[in-house]
Amino acid sequence: MKGPVLICGGAGFIGTNLAARHLSMGQRVLVLDNMSRAGVERNMESLRREYGSLVEFDAGDVRDQRTVRRCIREATSVYHFAAQTAVTTSLVSPRDDFEINALGTLTLLEELRLSGKQVPLVFTSTNKVYGNLDKLAVRRNGSRYEPQHPGVLANGIGEDWPLDFHSPYGCSKGSADQYVLDYARTFGLPNVVFRMSCIYGPHQCGTEDQGWVAHFLIQSLIEKPVTIYGDGCQVRDALYAEDLVNAMLCASRNAPSLAGQAFNIGGGIRNTVSLLELLDLIAEVEGARPDVRFEDWRIGDQRYYVSDTREFERATGWQPRISVREGVRRLHSWLTTTYRAPAAQEALRQGVA
């Protein structure tokens, strides 16, 4: 029987969506996840309930060499999502952030190198490798910022934008990003890097620190205020999880020809939204705009980041298909079904869900 697809951090939001796609095609999936993120237990329960013995689970840690060696032994492809994902957490615990993001990634790369196998690896990096983009002049246009640079306004930030790691999180993810690329260049591993923007969709346990689209929707559902850091005119390109999964499948299938390349992945110039505009979309689906509180800007916040996805589109033919309005509607529907039950709502209010 064909070996499993290995998803490191596979009980998280992106991992669960990717695992479900592979499992729905009859492919075995091995989820490696230490279950440290709140809410991921529900994701594993959902996968097991739906797909039974096709999904395997290892509760180890990507930093543990023996665990990683065991998990890659029969893997036919690898996706690496295991990470500390919040800038704020990295400021409190920089060493933990480094060990999870940088050392964990190096451990995985070394075991893949030593295995002698040519196994496709797709690694999720972040747009934070470009820093806070303070050299990108922006102007305010109504409820959003827009860049004054005509090329960026037309197409977004390309892969040739200078790297400029900000915050311990930016440094740890940036280091991992560069190691993944160099192991492709130096050791010939078929590695592909996705520098991702705003990803949202089902199974996302959104918080203030990570997953802001889901967080805003959840706060609205449980009738709690939304805190906006800055003025709310920050713009991101939002990519629905289904579209991201399509991109990841493309990258894994084409890993030999894409190896050693980093791609900016997000909704692109056609799927931009500011924080204030998201509140308007929530009002459309929820019937009321959430209450809002404003706080000071946070370290490393980008006023404008939109991915120029043309390089990946040219290489694979992939394009986002789901608009922000449609994606928010779908996520709202999923969250309503998942979190509007009385027990779930109470758990959310108490901060335990």
**Whole-number Å distance between alpha carbons of 33 and 10:** 6
- Is the distance from CB of 170 to CB of 131 less than 8 angstroms? yes
**Whole-number Å distance between alpha carbons of 336 and 264:** 31
- Is the distance from CB of 59 to CB of 11 less than 8 angstroms? no
Residues facing 240 on adjacent strands: 200
**Whole-number Å distance between alpha carbons of 155 and 158:** 8
**Whole-number Å distance between alpha carbons of 270 and 278:** 15
Active site residue 169: yes
Provide CB contacts within 8 A for 135, sequence distance 6+.
none
Which entry of 79, 130, 145, 169 is annotated as an active-site residue?
169
Given CA atoms 138, 140, 141, 144 in this order, what sign does their dihedral have?
A: positive
Provide CB contacts within 8 A for 48, sequence distance 6+.
55, 57
Which residues belong to the active site?
169
